[in-house]
Chain A
C-alpha cells in the first residue's frame, strides 16, 4: 500500500547521460538546518566517493548527528542539496525510501529489537522486499540461513543467536547493530560512535571489521575516539558549528591549528 511512495522521484535533468549530477556517491551542498532558532547546520558541504571510508570528528553540537539525520531523511534541511548516487534527491525522500536506496545507519545509542532474538534481528535487516501484505505470506520464512550464520560469525554473536537481544551487553548490541548493517548490505553505511563503551581490544576489533567492510562499501564513521579514527586509516573531516572546519588525512587534520583550537585541545 506504500509502493507509490517508494518510487524515487528522479530529478528530470536532460538526457540519460547527463542525469547524474555528480559522480560522488554522496553529495551534500550548503545544507542548513535550524531547530527553533538554533542553527544546527550552517551550510555544510561534503562529498563522499564510491567505496570511500570517511571519519567525521568534531566537538559536541558540531552537527554530526544532524548531518546523518539529513542523509537518512529523519530531518529535512531548510535549504541545500543532498544527492545520493548522483540522481536521488535525499531531501525529498523519507526514511524507508532512503534505506531502500541503500543507505544503512547505526545509531549512537545501539538500537536493536529487544524482544526479538539475535537471529531475528539479523533476519529483519536482511536485504529483500519490505511490503506488509507480502510478508504475511511467506517471504523471509525461507531466508538463507547460511548468510545469517555468516553475519553472526563475523560479528561474533553466533553463540548468542537464540537469545533475546535485550539480554545482550552494551558492546554486543553495538555489534549486533553492525551485523544488521551488514545484513542490509547497503551502498553507504553511516556509523555513529560504534566504539563508545568498548574496551581497547573490542575497539581494535571493530576498527578491523570496519576496514574490511569498507573494501566493498562506502562508510562514514562518526567517532570521538582519536585512536580509533587513526586505526581506520582514512580521510578525516572535522565539523564545527554546523560546517566543515577541516578535511584531509588524520595527520593533516589533527595538525590543523583551528582543529586543535576547537576540538582536540592544546
Chain B
C-alpha cells in the first residue's frame, strides 16, 4: 500500500458550527424551560419547546432529502411519504399506549376501530404495543418501501424529472390509501389523542423537553451519518453518479446500487423525523402524504443550499419559522411568500444560503491555492519516446 490520499474530515468547519449551535440550544432550551421560573421574561413556554422540536424534525427531513437530491441528483417529490410512514408507525405505538383510557374504554381497540365496528385488531397492528418493535418499524417500513421503489426505478434507469413525477405519484397513491377507512389507520382523522410515550404522559413538560432533545440528537446523528457517507469513497461515487451516471457504468460501477443505498438511508432518516414529529404535534393524518408537503420540503433544501447538509437543516428551520410568523400575522400572505420563495431561490440563489456563503468564503481560500497555468504535456511526449 502506498501513501494515503487525504480524506476530508468527517466534521468540517460548517459541521462544527452546526453541531456547536445544536449543542448550545440543547443546553439553553431545557434551562430556559425547566429551570427559569415561569414568571421570568426569559422563560421559554412549553409550546415553544414543541414548536422548536417540530422544526428540528423538519430539519432532519430536509437533511434526508439533501442526501439524495444534493449528492445523488434524485429529486424526490415523495419524501413526505417516508416521513408519514415513520409518523404512522409511531402513531400506532402511541395509540396502543392509550389502552382502556379511550372514549369507548376498549382495552385493545383504538376508539376509531370501535366506532367502525372492528371486532379485533388488524394483523398489522400487532406488536405496536411494544416500543422496540415500533421503533424498528419506523426504520423498516420507509426503508423497505424505498428499497423496493428505488431498486426498481434505478435499475430501470428512471432518472431526472421522470423519477420526480413517479415519486410524487407514490406519495399521492399513499395519501389516497390512507384516507380510506378500510386501511384501519383512522382514515381522514388519522391517529390522535395520544396519552403516554414509554410510560410518561406525552403532554407533560419534562416529556416535551425530552422529545425536543431526542429530536436534536437524531438530527445530529443523521448529520454525522450523512456526512460519513458523503465524504467516503461511496460519496465520491455518488457525486460521480449525480454528474454523469452513464459514465460511471463504463467504469464498472452500478449506479443503481449506490443510489438505492442512499435512497434507503435517506428514507429511514425521514421516517425517524416523522416518528419524532408525531408525539410533538400530537397527531398524524393522511394529509402528511400530500404531494405539496413533499415539494415544500424540497424548497427548504433549496433555500439552505443543496449538497451542503447543514444548509438543508438551516433552510428547513428558517422557512418554517417564517411560516409560523406569517401564518400568524397574515395568513393569506404565506402562500404568496412561499411561492415567491420558490421562484426567487431557483432564479437568484441556486446554491442556497450556505452554498453561496461557501462559494464566497471558500473561493478566496481556493484562489490562494490555485495551481499554475496549464502546461502542454511535455512529459507526455517524453514518456512516449522512452
Do A and B contact each other directly (Cβ–Cβ < 8 Å)?
yes
Q: Which residues of A contact B (CB under 8 A)?
A: 1-2, 5-6, 72, 74, 94-96, 99-100, 104-105, 107, 111-116, 119-120, 123-125, 130-133, 135-148, 153-163, 168-169, 172, 175, 180, 184, 201-202, 204-205, 207-209, 211-212
Q: How far is the CA of A119 from the CA of B370 in the complex (A)?
A: 15
- Majority secondary structure of chain B interface residues (helix, strand, loop or mixed): helix
B residues contacting A by CB (< 8 A) are 1-5, 7, 151, 228-229, 232-234, 236-237, 239-240, 243-244, 246-254, 256-258, 260-261, 369-372, 374-381, 383-385
Taking a contact as CB atoms closer than 8 A, the residue among A114, A142, A145, A184 that contacts B243 in the complex is A114
Question: Do B236 and A124 touch across chains, with their CB atoms under 8 A apart?
Answer: yes
Contact yes or no, A135 B369, CB < 8 A:
no
A138 vs B255: C-alpha distance in the bound complex, in angstroms?
Answer: 19
**Number of CB contacts from chain A to chain B under 8 A:** 162
Sample 8 A-B pairs with CB under 8 A, ordered by A number. Answer: A2-B256, A111-B246, A119-B5, A132-B234, A136-B232, A136-B234, A155-B377, A159-B375
CB distance from B235 to the nearest CB of A (A): 9
* B257:A144 contact, CB within 8 angstroms: no
Question: Which residues of the partner chain A approach B260 to less than 8 Å between Cβ atoms?
Answer: 1, 132
Knowing A124-B236, A135-B234, A201-B376, say if A130 contacts B384 (CB, 8 Å).
Answer: no
Q: How far is the CB of A159 from chain B (nearest CB, A)?
A: 5
Q: Give Cα A263–Cα B384 distance, bound, in whole angstroms.
A: 30
Give complex CA distance A124, B374 in Å.
23
The residues of B that contact A119 with a CB separation of less than 8 Å are 5
Closest B-chain residue to A123, C-beta based? B5
Q: Which of A123, A202, A209 is close to B384, meaning CB atoms less than 8 Å apart?
A: A209
Cross-interface CB contact of A141 among B2, B7, B375, B383, cutoff 8 Å: B7
With known contacts A99-B252, A180-B251, A143–B2 Cβ distance under 8 A? yes
Most buried by A among B228, B232, B234, B248: B234
| Contacts A99-B249, A144-B2 known; 16 new A-B pairs at CB < 8 A | A1-B261, A2-B256, A96-B249, A114-B244, A116-B243, A132-B261, A138-B232, A138-B233, A142-B4, A155-B380, A168-B374, A172-B374, A202-B377, A205-B380, A205-B384, A212-B384
Task: Give the residue name and chain of the B residue nearest to A102 (CB).
Answer: B252
B62 to chain A, nearest CB (A): 21
